[in-house]
Amino acid sequence: MTARVLDGKAVAKQVYEEVAKAVNDRVARGGSRPRLATVLVGDDPASATYIALKQRNARNVGIESEDHRLPSSTTTEELLAVVQTLNRNDSVSAILIQQPTPKHIDMRQVVLALDPIKDVDGFHPINAGLVALGFTGGVEPCTPAGIVLLLERSGIQIEGANAVVVGRSNLVGKPTALLLLKRNATVTVCHTRTQGLANHTKAADILVCAAGHANLISREMVKPGSVVVDVSTNSVGGRQVGDLGPGVDAVAGWLTPNPGGVGPMTRAMLIKNTFEAEVRRRG
Closest distance of CB 73 from ligand NAP, Å: 26
Q: Is 262 in the site for ligand NAP (CB under 6 A)?
A: yes
Q: Which residues, at least 6 apart from 30, have a Cβ–Cβ distance to it below 8 Å?
A: none
Q: Is 234 in the site for ligand NAP (CB under 6 A)?
A: yes
Q: Is 191 in the site for ligand NAP (CB under 6 A)?
A: yes
Closest distance of CB 155 from ligand NAP, Å: 22
Closest distance of CB 105 from ligand NAP, Å: 17
Q: Is 232 in the site for ligand NAP (CB under 6 A)?
A: yes
Q: Which one is catalytic: 7, 119, 121, 205?
A: 121
Q: State yes or no: is 205 an active-site residue.
A: no
Q: Which one is catalytic: 7, 54, 118, 243?
A: 54
What is the pattern of x (binds ligand NAP, CB under 6 A) and - over residues 192-231? xxx--x------------xxxx--x--------------x
What is the pattern of x (binds ligand NAP, CB under 6 A) and - over residues 138-167? -----x----------------------xx
Number of Cβ within a 10 Å radius of residue 9: 15
Q: State yes or no: is 84 an active-site residue.
A: no
Which one among 22, 96, 130, 172 touches ligand NAP, defined by CB under 6 A?
Answer: 172
Q: State yes or no: is 121 an active-site residue.
A: yes
Indicate the residue among 51 and 86 with the shorter CB distance to ligand NAP: 51
Interface residues with ligand NAP (CB under 6 A) are 143, 166-169, 171-173, 190-194, 197, 210-213, 216, 231-234, 262-263, 266
What residues act catalytically?
54, 98, 121
